[in-house]
Amino acid sequence: MVEVVIPRYVVHLEEHVLKRKAARFLTVALIIAAAIHLGVMGAYWAGVAFSKEEPPTRVVKIMTYSELGPPPSIDATSAVAPSVSVAQQAAKPTVGIPVPVPDAEVSPEQTFATQQELSNIASPIGEGTGISVREEEIQITDDDAPPPAFVPFEKEPVLIKKVDPAYPKLAREAELEGTVHVNIWVDKQGKVRDVKVLKATSEIFVQPVIDAVKQWQFSPAMMKNGPVAVWVAVPFRFSLEDVR
């Protein structure tokens, strides 16, 4: 039986090589992980940067009065507006018993106008006036629609005008305290568009909070493309110590 003896320096050399390989593989793994992370973040911010869409346009027809003259007749012949004389003073109406007209007084030549004759009569709008129709493109914005529950932003809205809610007199006399949690819709101009009550310990504190918050003013939240509308959650604490 032959024993194989491995020198100790060979063992140390192999351990050194393995440690170097492990360090190199660890460095490569960290570089790959960092590249993947940067790629994902770059794709996200690129999507945010290019996701701003132009507001949709809608073609609408607007009817306005213009100098077009009376509308043409059905047979495309020129029509002249009939002159209508107006009495200087209207006769006073009289009240009495209606009397039927005898058939002998009705002209036998009296006939009703046909559709063709009616179409030849000019429009009662008169000469020199008419209706024109033009098409315009208007932009439809989503400023009137509330924002979603989560809106990404880089700079949060900052309160620049604050009005404290009034402590209800009945609650103060009854020594009642409470808390109201609300969500505030801050639009792109920093104005408060709506207030939603999330939770309230007593209904007596809700209306003072809404009345006060509607007078608040913010600097709008900002994203790369400009200001964005967001929801801001704010709690209100009604304590008797604050009014004493």
* pLDDT, tens only, 32-74: 988 898 888 887 777 766 665 555 555 556 665 554 555 565 5
> Chain-wide mean pLDDT for the chain?
76
Give the per-residue pLDDT at 42: 80
pLDDT tens digits for range 158-167: 999 999 999 9
Residue 211: half-sphere exposure toward Cβ, Cα within 13 Å: 9
Domains held by the chain: number: 3
The whole-number pLDDT of residue 104 equals 54
CA distances from 54 to 36, 44, 50, 138, 140 (A): 31, 20, 11, 12, 10
Number of Cβ within a 10 Å radius of residue 104: 6
Residue 148 lies in a domain: no
What CATH number should be reported for the domain holding residue 199? 3.30.2420.10
Tokens representing residue 179 in the block: 């808390």
For residue 75, is pLDDT > 60? no
Question: What is the reported pLDDT for 14?
Answer: 72
- Output the pLDDT for position 101: 61
Report yes or no on 177 lying in a domain. Answer: yes
Task: For residues 176 and 216, state if they share a domain.
Answer: yes
Task: State pLDDT tens for residues 112-152.
Answer: 666 777 666 655 544 444 555 565 555 545 567 889 988 89
Q: Is residue 145 part of a domain?
A: no
- Give the separation between CA 172 and CA 238, rounded to whole angstroms: 10
Q: Is residue 85 part of a domain?
A: no
Residues spanned by the domain of 37: 1-51
